Amino acid sequence: MTFTIDSSAADVLAGIDLRGKLAVVTGGYSGLGLATTRALVNAGAQVVVPARRPDLAQKALLGLAAEVDEMDLADPKSVADFADRLLGSGRAIDIVINSAGVMAVPETRVGPGWEAHFAVNHLGHYALVNRLLPVIAEGGRVVAVSSGVSPTGTIQWDDVHFAQGYDRWAAYAQSKLANALFAAQLDLLGRSAGVHAYSVNPGYILTPLQRHLTKEEMVAAGWIDDAGKPLLPEFRSPEQGAATQVWAATSPELADAGGSYLQHCVVARQFDQPADREQAARLWALSAELTGVDAFAVADGSDPR
C-alpha cells in the first residue's frame, strides 16, 4: 500500500493485527512517541514505555493499555536496570522504537562526562538495544528515529563529545547521523538472528522536542509566526510524523530493506556505500568501548562485557 506525507500512524496500521506482539517505545509518552504508542496499542500490541519521569508518563498514557517503567537514557545503570527487568519477565520483544531524544540542548555533560545529545540520542539507545537483543524475537525490528541527515555528514571522530568547543546544532546533527549509522550496522550484524533495523526521518513536527528553543528562535528560523502557528507547509501533526516509524516497525514491504533510512513511508537512502559502512562499523566499535556493551561480541567467543 502507498502512503504519503499526509498519512498517519493509524492509516499505516489499518488492517494490521498486532495482538500478541510486544513493543518497547522510548519516549513513548510525549510527542511522536505518544502518537506511536497510541497507534500500536490500538492495533493490539502490548507496549512498554520506559520513562525518565514515570509519573508524567502514567498521566500522559492514562486510558491507554501501556506499561510504564523507569529508565534514564543518560544513565548507563538505569538503562541496564530497565533491560534486566524486561529480560527477567521472560517475554520476547517484537519491536523496539527508539523515539526518545533531545535537541538543541545547552552544553550538558551526563554519565561519565558524555555530551548530552550523543549520550541520550545514541549511546543510551545503543546500550538498551544491545542489552535487549537476547530476547528480540526472530523477525523482530528495531527502529531508530533520526532526523534529516546530510549526505556528507560525518562523526566528529577526534572529539565526539565536543570537549574542544560546543555547538548545539552540530552536536544534534552528529547524534542523528549516529542513529542512522547504528541502524545500518545493527541490521548487518543482526541478520543471522533475523533482526532487522531501520532509521527514519519523521519530518517537521512541533513537539516538546523543541523545548530548548525560544519562540523568537523558531520565528527567526521561519518555523512559526508570532502567534506560534507553523509556517512551513511541511509541518505535520505528531500522528502524521509517527507514520514512518510505525511503517518501519510493521510493514511487510520492508522485509528485504533492512538498514534503510526512511522518510514519508518510502526508502529515502541506503547506508550501504563503503564510506557509510566504514563509519557505521567504527561507530559501533566506539559505542561498545564507551558503554561496555556489545551483544555480538559473544558470537566469536570474546568477552560479552
Asked whether 79 and 127 are in contact (CB, 8 A), the reply is: yes
DSSP 87-109: HHTTPPEEEEEE-----SPPS-E
Distance CA 10, CA 166 (A): 40
Specify whether 261 is catalytic: no
Q: Of the listed 29, 126, 172, 198, which one is catalytic? A: 172
Q: CA-CA distances (angstroms) from residue 9 to 37, 167, 249, 251, 283? A: 10, 34, 11, 12, 31
Distance CA 292, CA 114 (A): 14
Q: Given CA atoms 52, 58, 63, 67 in this order, what sign does their dihedral have?
A: positive
Count CA atoms within 13 Å of residue 31 on its CB side: 22
User: Which among 40, 269, 3, 7 is positioned nearest to 141, based on CA atoms?
Assistant: 40
Task: Take residue 229 and report the three cell numbers written for it.
Answer: 502557528
Q: Which residues are catalytic?
A: 172
